[in-house]
Structure 1
């Protein structure tokens, strides 16, 4: 499916999340912007919460705009996300990831050909 094909908002969010490469993170707001849904960061969270596990989306690479994980620090979900991020070489300290170090900056090719509009 090319980016020229019309997709639903949920499909655009899920596709954008699937493009975040191993070892990189993106914020909910960044995903919303890239999916053509500016200002809809909470909607990205909604989409991720409601994605079937069978889709195997790299949800763990999505964090808040300040680099914090969206889950309470001692929760099972935070532990799972930290474990998955560590496995990709991403350091999590105090329930936070350094966006300047690990943030995803898609290149022009991705913006033109892979990111859905």
Structure 2
């Protein structure tokens, strides 16, 4: 299995209404210290794919802005809100409430 496929396998496990951080996904994929690699892998995913790319956010609880994503940031926020995830007035997600804990679901 390729590195990217391993990342996608982890991301597919994130349940509806939960998020994971890039760092968390990198750890679970045995890519410790490589959260940017997770970002690169998810950037390559077609927005309409079966990989729930929108459930991966940064460690601050924010959507990581990408000028190359062409509306993907807005789309990511909308998709998360449709799953019941709320953003505070600063555009952050409460990680205590919404962070995925593998094995607890």
Name the TM-score class by shorter chain. 0.7 to 0.9
CA RMSD of aligned residues (A): 1.9
The CA distance in 2 between the partners of 1:26 and 1:10, in whole Å, is: 16
Which entry has the higher C-alpha Rg, 1 or 2? Answer: 1
1:54 deviates by 5.3
Ranges in structure 2 where 5+ consecutive residues have no aligned partner: none
Count of residues in Structure 1 that have an aligned counterpart in Structure 2: 101
After TM superposition, list the pairs within 5 Å mapping 1:2-41 onto structure 2.
Answer: 7-41=1-35
Higher helix share: 1
Ranges in structure 1 where 5+ consecutive residues have no aligned partner: 1-6, 111-117
What TM-score, normalized by structure 2, do the two folds share?
0.87
Report 1 or 2 for greater relative contact order, CA contacts < 8 Å, sequence distance ≥ 6. 1
Structure 1 runs of 4+ with >4 Å offset: none
